[in-house]
Amino acid sequence: MEPKKDKLIFLVDDDKMFLKTMELYIRQFFNNYTIRTFYTGEECLNSIHQKPDIVLLDYMLNGNYPDAMDGIKVLIQIKKTNPEITVIMFSAQDHIDIAVDTMKHGAFDYIVKNDKMFLRVQNAIKNVIYNLVLKQDMKEYKRKMRLLGILIAVIIGALVYVSIFCRSFLQV
């Protein structure tokens, strides 16, 4: 089961070869998503109004672009703009403190660039999709419960009104 709106993934990495490889890999499994790629966090932030479902974001974005924002700053800006956007961080840095820092700032997951990365990205995206579907189902359930509550209140109100009206009508 998939979310019901247009599906969009942003990929952000300053390594063009890696970015193209990741894009091709993701398209294999999630071909119903539109995938947009960005070489800098600034480019990504300029398009964030498109409200991507998922942003895959490199931690070190200033390797090829020294003046570019780093991944944490981009993550913080994304979350300020729209906390609902799911961000998955990745990096060649295999340090727990970096992973904790990204999660502290709202990342859904932190994936180390290694031989298991592509499979982990695939699983992380599946988990995000599952969570999006659950959120959507929960919103629909809450909407139905509100409507049911209103309907019950109207029925009870009608019963009270009829019992009062019938009682006063019979007494006349």
For residues 27-47, average pLDDT:
92
Q: Mean pLDDT across the chain, nearest whole number?
A: 87
Question: What is the model's pTM?
Answer: 0.75
Q: Is residue 148 part of a domain?
A: no
Q: Report which DSSP code applies to 69.
A: P
The CATH number covering residue 74 comes to 3.40.50.2300
Q: Backbone phi, then psi, for 65, in 5-degree steps?
A: -130, 85
**pLDDT score at 97:** 85
Q: Report which DSSP code applies to 10.
A: E
Q: Is residue 170 part of a domain?
A: no
Q: Is residue 73 part of a domain?
A: yes
pLDDT at 1 over 60: no
Q: Is residue 72 part of a domain?
A: yes
Q: Backbone phi, then psi, for 29, in 5-degree steps?
A: -105, -25
Using one digit for the tens of pLDDT, what is the confidence trace for 88-113?
Answer: 999 888 888 888 888 899 999 999 99
Helix ranges restricted to H, 59-116: 71-81, 96-104
Structural domain that includes position 41: 8-137
Q: Is residue 158 part of a domain?
A: no
Structural domains counted in the chain: 1
Q: Is residue 171 part of a domain?
A: no
Q: Is residue 81 part of a domain?
A: yes
Using one digit for the tens of pLDDT, what is the confidence trace for 51-83?
Answer: 999 999 999 887 777 787 899 999 999 999 999
